[in-house]
Amino acid sequence: MLYRKFPKAPMDLSILGFGCMRLPVFENRQIDEPKAMAMIRYAIDHGVNYIDTAYPYHDGQSEPVVGRALGDGYREKVQLATKLPSWLITKREDMDKYLDEQLERLATDHIDFYLIHGLNQATWETTARLGVLEFLDDAVADGRIRYPAFSFHDSLPLFKKIIDAYDWTFAQIQYNFMDEKYQAGTKGLKYAAKRGIGIVVMEPLRGGLLAKDAPGIPEILKGAPVQRTPAEWGLRWVWNHPEVTVVLSGMSAMEQVVQNIRYTEQGQPGSLSKKELAIIGRVRDEFNSRIKIPCTGCRYCMPCKNGVDIPGCFEYYNQAHIYDAKDQVSGIYSWALSGMFGGVPGFASCCLSCGECEEKCPQGLLIQKHLKDIAEYFGK
């Protein structure tokens, strides 16, 4: 196992972090706790020392399971991260309520890294107005948390604003070789690094989409100077960036844990050759050639008065075709656009064909037609 440091934290952290959002489950969606505990402890026994969970993961089951997995002395071997559910905060007292509940669920007296979860424009404005930064200061002072951080799902300008607003230890962003310009992206990665703020990467394999043997990709990878699985190529690309400290993997089977730990052995920054990076570039180009709707994500069409997340609908529709993964992306679409994080449903089927979006689109996209196609494709 290789280790790196955050600029503002003294400990060595494993470059692979265990993300506890996709633990093995039974058909009734309950976590298969014996398997999950075995996986977490195997990872720790083999050098993983960053464990990441959150209040809503597995409908609230993740934190208690993680707490039990870290019994028998395992808690002392790891740095534990969890997250404040920002979309549930309506008053300052809520912040303390959720943190205290999480400490109990995790069976610990402190959280090493406490993140404000899933910040976007709405949740940042609300939590900032209600005093979340003062809350973090107070929680550090009384010992309930050690290092404050945030996870992010919005645009680069907002990311920079949040970075500049507080003395964060790190930011958690979605980043992979297909998302260099998505949300915070490479520019956000470098912006944070210049200010001494560490980076933890989520979705390095886009929820497993980049680990698939999608049509045409194996043929490209056969021409590489070194033979690796798609998953290893994806992880190595992220680890190649010196600004990244930890890469999270939401592992759901023991074989994934074993494989990912093996992949860490060569995960040094700057270790990929020009030829290897060129191969990844060819894979990227092949994926991009499958885009169905050429939306640039400028968001001039937003907000939609009916609540439709137009760029989000286009993104998931494109992903399903890019990665030949309709069933998998359908589940993500249903979850991500459901409004469960404090908003309203943003599904394509919510479109009432008012046409205002098309008047604003600089690309001249036939948005209403695309939304009808997406609603039919994913279902209502």
Strands (E), 5-78: 13-14, 16-19, 50-52
The span from the CA of 9 to the CA of 307, in Å, is 41
Q: Which domains does the chain have, with CATH numbers?
A: 3-282 (3.20.20.100), 310-378 (no CATH)
Please list the residues that pair with 170 across neighbouring strands. 149, 198
Q: Take residue 380 and report the two structure tokens written for it.
A: 């209502």
- Residue 74's contacts (CB-CB under 8 Å, 6 or more residues apart) are 40, 41, 44
Predicted confidence band at 339 (pLDDT cuts at 50, 70, 90)? confident
Amino acid identity of residue 229, one-letter, is: T
Strands (E), 25-108: 50-52, 79-84
Per-residue pLDDT for 60 more than 70? yes
The span from the CA of 212 to the CA of 23, in Å, is 19
Query: Buried (b) or exposed (e) across 310-319, using 16+ Cβ within 10 A?
Result: bbbbbbbbbb
Per-residue pLDDT for 240 more than 90? yes
Which of 175, 170, 173 minimizes the C-alpha distance to 197?
Answer: 170
Please give the pLDDT value at position 341: 59
The span from the CA of 184 to the CA of 157, in Å, is 8
Please list the residues that pair with 152 across neighbouring strands. 119
Q: What's the pTM value of the predicted model, to 2 decimals?
A: 0.88
Which of 196, 149, 205, 213 minimizes the C-alpha distance to 175?
Answer: 205
Give per-residue pLDDT as tens, 261-313.
Answer: 999 999 999 999 999 999 999 999 999 999 999 888 788 899 899 999 999 99
Predicted confidence band at 143 (pLDDT cuts at 50, 70, 90)? very high
Per-residue pLDDT for 364 more than 80? yes
Say which residue, 228 or 212, is predicted with more confidence: 228
Please give the pLDDT value at position 61: 95
Quick one: how far is CA 143 from the chain centroid?
27
Please give the pLDDT value at position 299: 82
Where is average pLDDT lowest: 31-35, 118-122, 126-130?
A: 118-122
Q: Take residue 209 and report the two structure tokens written for it.
A: 């989409």
Give per-residue pLDDT as tens, 75-104.
Answer: 999 999 999 999 999 999 999 999 999 999
246-273: average pLDDT: 96
Please give the pLDDT value at position 298: 80
The span from the CA of 300 to the CA of 38, in Å, is 48
- Residue 32's contacts (CB-CB under 8 Å, 6 or more residues apart) are 23, 24, 25, 26
Q: At what angle do helices 254-263 and 230-239 cross, to 10 degrees?
A: 50
Give per-residue pLDDT as tens, 302-335.
Answer: 989 999 999 999 999 999 999 989 998 998 899 8
Please give the pLDDT value at position 125: 96
Q: Take residue 107 and report the two structure tokens written for it.
A: 């069976």
Give per-residue pLDDT as tens, 155-212.
Answer: 999 999 999 999 999 999 999 999 999 899 999 999 999 999 999 999 999 888 898 8
Please give the pLDDT value at position 208: 86
Q: Whose structure tokens read 């999950």?
A: 36
Amino acid identity of residue 195, one-letter, is: R
Please give the pLDDT value at position 214: 84
Return left, alpha or beta for 2; rule: phi > 0 is left, psi -120 to 50 is alpha, else beta. Answer: beta
Please give the pLDDT value at position 212: 83
Cα torsion angle, 170, 174, 179, 183, sign? negative
Say which residue, 34 or 211, is predicted with more confidence: 34
Per-residue pLDDT for 342 more than 70? no
Please give the pLDDT value at position 310: 95
The span from the CA of 119 to the CA of 219, in Å, is 39
Please give the pLDDT value at position 170: 98
Residue by residue, DSSP assigns 168-227 as -SEEEEE--TT-TTSTTHHHHHHHHHHTT-EEEEE-TTTTTGGGS--TTHHHHHTTSSS-
Predicted confidence band at 213 (pLDDT cuts at 50, 70, 90)? confident
* 318, 319, 324, 328 alpha-carbon torsion, rounded to 10°: -130
Q: Which DSSP category does 108 fall into?
A: -
Quick one: how far is CA 3 from the chain centroid?
20
The span from the CA of 327 to the CA of 1, in Å, is 34
116-138: average pLDDT: 96
3-state class of 141 per DSSP? helix
Backbone angles phi, psi at 69, to 5 degrees: -65, -30
227-248: average pLDDT: 97
The span from the CA of 271 to the CA of 240, in Å, is 6
CB 198 within 8 A of CB 163: no
Please give the pLDDT value at position 340: 64
